[in-house]
Amino acid sequence: MKNMGLQHLKLVGPGEWFNEQCRRMAGKAIELVHSAQIYSSLDEALSGENVVIGTTSARKRKAKQRIHTPREIADLLRKYGKSHRVALVFGPERSGLTDLQLARCQHLVSIPSNLEHPVLNLSQAVLVLAYEIFSSGPTKSNGNLQLASDEEREQMFSDMQRVLLEIGFLNPRNPSHIMSSIRRFLGRADLTPRDVQILRGIMTQMEWYTAGRPAEIQNSKSQPADRLKLQITNSKSQTISESKTQKPKPRSVNKSKIQNPKIKT
């Protein structure tokens, strides 16, 4: 990492890791090891990151999500510019990243390798990717683009999953199936904090509506989208739903009358 100018090391659930062997292997990069941040979950580790890139040997993956080359990832980083925090996520040596962990990354990268032996050793995979990023030159700032953080996106996905389950859109036995697809296409969308607020606002409104307030909506002088605009312009950090603190009791819905739209997957 140090050779290639990477500085921030985050470890998730590493167990007993700082031992004599680690000290010896680190050599002159020991301060990078000392400043490593330890987390108990991937969510915590990624919360402040704007762009999350998962690494995989792609051996076991069905080709659902586009897999980038290291060069393409280096180009992406240049596009996002200096003003964004970008995380490269590597899996444990033995098991790699799980499908769910990979689905939560906005972009995937695989180092091209012999199809019969595609899996690199973790440290080698880190070096190849770090080299590609380093050799593509310094990243300039990109004043126009400001992406949402991982934490903001994850809150949105959690709202989305809850509401889509509530309205019967997701299969409660396997919500992550469709959620992974939603994550995939929204991951390509470079969502800004405002985009995330709007999507969360739509979810809140759906939840509110299904809980039995359609009459109130019709009589209301301002439309939900207007309220959304007001609150987005009035408050920087508050969520859109804060004005509706009192939740009505849910309406009873005759589920047999509801026809779910079918999705081909």
Q: What residue ranges bind ligand SAH (CB under 6 A)?
A: 55-57, 59, 90-91, 93-97, 110-111, 113, 118-120, 122, 125
When CB distances to ligand SAH are compared, the closest residue is: 91
Nearer Cβ to ligand SAH, position 119 or 202? 119
Q: Which is nearer to ligand SAH, 12 or 120 (CB)?
A: 120
Q: How far is the CB of 24 from ligand SAH (least distance, A)?
A: 21
- If the CB atoms of residues 75 and 166 are measured against ligand SAH, the closer one turns out to be 75
Least Cβ distance, residue 125 to ligand SAH (angstroms): 4
User: 62 or 94: whose CB is closer to ligand SAH?
Assistant: 94
Q: What is the DSSP string of the chain?
A: -TTTT----EEES--S--SHHHHHHHGGGHHHHHT-EEESSHHHHHTT-SEEEEE---SS--TTS-EE-HHHHHHHHHHH-TTS-EEEE---TTT---HHHHHTSSEEE-----TTS-PPPHHHHHHHHHHHHHHT-PPPP-TT--PPPHHHHHHHHHHHHHHHHHTT-S-TT-HHHHHHHHHHHHHTT---HHHHHHHHHHHHHHHHHHTT-HHHHHH-SS-HHHHHHHHHHH-SSS-GGGG--SPPPPPP--GGGPPPPP---
Structure tokens at 71: 């060069």
**Smallest distance from the beta carbon of 126 to ligand SAH, in angstroms?**
8
Residue with smaller CB distance to ligand SAH, 46 or 160: 46
Q: Are 138 and 127 contacting, i.e. CB atoms less than 8 angstroms apart?
A: no
CB of 216: closest distance to ligand SAH in angstroms? 50
Residue 111 CB, nearest distance to ligand SAH (Å)? 4
Report the nearest approach of ligand SAH to the CB of residue 86 (Å).
15
Measured from the CB atom, the residue of 70 and 201 that comes closer to ligand SAH is: 70
* Least gap, CB of 8 to ligand SAH (angstroms): 17
Q: 55: closest CA among 6, 112, 1, 14?
A: 112
**In the complex with ligand SAH, which residue's Cβ is closer, 118 or 168?**
118
Phi, psi of 142, rounded to the nearest 5 degrees: -125, 90
